[in-house]
Amino acid sequence: MPAQAADLTYTQPIQNTTQSLTGDGISSDTYFVKAGYWDVHLARFVLHYQVSQLADRRSSDITVLLNGVKFASFRPGDSTGLQTQTITLPLRLLQGSNHLQLQGQVLNMVGGTAQRVQTPANWLTIYPESNVQFTYALRAPDRSLRSFYIHYSGLDTISNGLSGIAVPNAPRNAELSAATYALAGYSRVMTNEQDQIPIAPAGSATLKNRAYQVVIARADRLPADLRWTVAAADLARGAVIQTVYAADRYTLVVTAKTDALLVKAARFVANQELMNETRAAKKIVTAATRTFSSSLQDNNGHYLLASPAGTQLTGAGHQSAAYFVTLPMDQTNAAGSQVRLHFRHAQNLDYARSLVTVAINDTPIGSRHLRQTDANDASLTLTVPPKLTVRNAITVRVTFDLALAGNASSGADNDQTPWAFIDPQSELFVRTKPVTTQLFTNYPSLFLKNDQFDAIGIVRPATMTASDFATLTNIVNLLGNFAKRNTGSVTYYSKTPDASVRAQHNLIAFGTPRANRYIAALQPHLYFQFDRAQQGFISNEKLSIESGYGRRLGTAQLLTNPDNAQRVVLVVTGGTPATAYLGSTQINFQQNIVNHSGDLIAVDSDNQVYNYRFKKDVTPGTKPSPVHELIKRSSLVIFLGVAGVIFVVLAVTLILLLRKYGKKGGDAA
């Protein structure tokens, strides 16, 4: 199809934290992406930065590289305040995934000669407002599932609020399960940190202006304008996934005659590989179709750091490379984890001052001096401290301090010299242990196992309002963001499940206690409990709550499952659907959940957020072994040991006395 006429713009942030740099030649790396369906007319890098004051005889410059090619440089202004530099990016260098690098140095002018010197502390500070701006024309999607998927999950499509998932007005539980798998599949590949795809009823105000929609429904419950597009012969063969385009509306219909096949088709839609591979406009999914994710495999604890080509670091002084490793969400670092580094380096170094350092999440774990004897085949193995908290995201930073032999001002400091090379067999070996603490620091890990949904049961209101759908979207968005596989189970319940079901599931209950009787039944277990009218929360040990204020609060409460202490119940609730939605606004994105370390989050209508911990035992489901309990109670061990010694001494003494006096009695006779 021809490109649409009007030019569009999209601004992509390149980092979310402030970064301050210092050293003998600094380097900063960041990444951005370009959608494959854009015809880019202009791309600009907007750098927001600040530099510290330099001495009069010193100057500085910053060089910009795109995908390893230097294309621009500039000298920062003399001002020490916030500065902005806009740089046009060469279109010929743009790729799908792009590596943008800044290299800076401070030069000292001595006798007309420029010499590179150590920068002042925090010489260059890069602010998170820095971004890449695109001006482009949009190529409309063709009718293949692949093209629809790429556009539907595109950065600009989601950011502009053009993607949505539609279900029937009164969805059945299986239809919601299918929608959950689909949304989770999209959430896991989204790079938009503050955007989401909503689940809502077809034709609702939420979806009205969303040009790209996935419609999920049983065949007899499809919207009337779509029902005729699905052939009965196709439905007789299995579930149907097909594109239906009209005017500027792009729809993917996912339907089947049975609940099981509908869920199966949703798992297909949730599989990025399968959707990217399907160039047809229609796919029939049967019970025999393999839909599970295949690319995200268990690494058995071995995570390669460098790319197959290795990592080359150039230039003398302070040079570093960062590698990112993601563990399964339900696992964390345990004793025995190691960084196994293989590298080589130049031989014209001052080895008394040259070393390599490894840091985990900016915490150094070890270093050593470089040696000329193994310059061509060096290795370093460092143990990761077992108490180092890494959660599921690990940054491994390898830093070389490469000091030149002889006089550094002799001109031998050549930026093009390959000073160090990190071999591709370098790895992080992680020995893991399960995450069990029932706090929001481990949410949503507690609902995952081996990167997939761990028997999740979602208890929802029988009749759902717009606020209920918004609450559900928030909950599923974060769950899907962390689930790396489209497997595991999510089952919906519109009434209180049986005790045996509750005991076998990690449960999520949302809505009001009047619309969700399971939440009402949990009243004795809630940390923030409801008043008798079930319209608001009452005061508790953590917070005094005025009656009117209690009706303006929403909460997310992470409880120990009353039916099985090894599982949990997340309750997202309030006196009205709108206040219950407030409770979900802190469990929707990663940037929000990381701020909470307790087991209750409360949010009021003015967005005042509270974070409390009520549990005294955060791992109630774990039962320590008798040996562990004895060791824990060292005083008891000492007491029993002393008592045992005393008992033995008394027993020996008694035996000796009996022998002695028994022998005398015998002699007297």
Q: 609-638: per-residue pLDDT in tens?
A: 999 999 998 887 555 444 444 444 555 556
Domain ranges within the chain, ordered by starting residue = 8-138, 145-285, 303-430, 440-612, 626-668
Return the DSSP state at 121.
T
Question: Over the chain, what is the mean pLDDT?
Answer: 87
Contact 556, 443 (CB under 8 A): no
Q: Which two tokens stand for residue 162?
A: 């053009």
pLDDT for 262 equals 98
Neighbours of 82 (CB within 10 A): 11
Q: Please, where are the H alpha helices in 406-563?
A: 466-482, 499-504, 517-521, 547-550
The architecture of the domain spanning 303-430 is Sandwich (2.60)
User: Are both 145-285 and 440-612 of the same fold?
Assistant: yes
Report the sign of the C-alpha dihedral through residues 652, 655, 657, 663, in that order. negative
pLDDT digits (tens, 9 = 90+) for 36-49: 999 999 999 999 99
pTM summary value: 0.80
pLDDT for 505 equals 97
CATH topology of domain 440-612: Chitobiase; domain 2 (3.30.379)
DSSP-derived secondary structure for 301-321? TEEE-S-TT-EEEESSEEEEE
Q: Kindly state the average pLDDT of the residues 554-567.
A: 97
pLDDT for 84 equals 94
pLDDT band for position 119 (50/70/90)?
A: low
Give the CATH class of 145-285.
alpha beta
Contact 31, 99 (CB under 8 A): yes
Contact 506, 454 (CB under 8 A): yes
pLDDT for 411 equals 44
Q: Say yes or no to pLDDT of 23 above 90.
A: no
Residues 380-417 as b/e (b if ≥16 CB within 10 A, e otherwise) read bebebeeeeebbbebebbbbbbbbbbeebeeeebeeee
The architecture of the domain spanning 8-138 is Sandwich (2.60)
For residue 46, the surrounding DSSP H or E stretch is strand 38-51
Q: Say yes or no to pLDDT of 408 above 90.
A: no
pLDDT for 3 equals 47
Half-sphere exposure of 437 (CA within 13 A, CB side): 13
Q: Using the structure block, give the residue that is written with the tokens 């059945």.
A: 172
Task: Please state the φ and ψ torsions of residue 580, each to the nearest 5 degrees.
Answer: -60, -40
For every residue of 164-232, which 3-state class applies, written as one string?
EEEECCCCCHHHHHHHHHHHHHHHHHCCCCCCCCCEEECCCCCCCCCCEEEEEEEHHHCCHHHHCCCCH
Q: Say yes or no to pLDDT of 644 above 80.
A: no
What residues contact 551, with CB distance under 8 A and at least 6 apart? 535, 536, 575, 576, 579
pLDDT for 638 equals 67
Of 75, 83, 68, 128, the closest CA to residue 105 belongs to 75
Q: Which of 226-240, 370-384, 395-409 has the lowest mean pLDDT?
A: 395-409
Q: Say yes or no to pLDDT of 496 above 80.
A: yes
Q: Which of 5-9, 114-118, 152-156, 220-224 has the lowest mean pLDDT?
A: 114-118
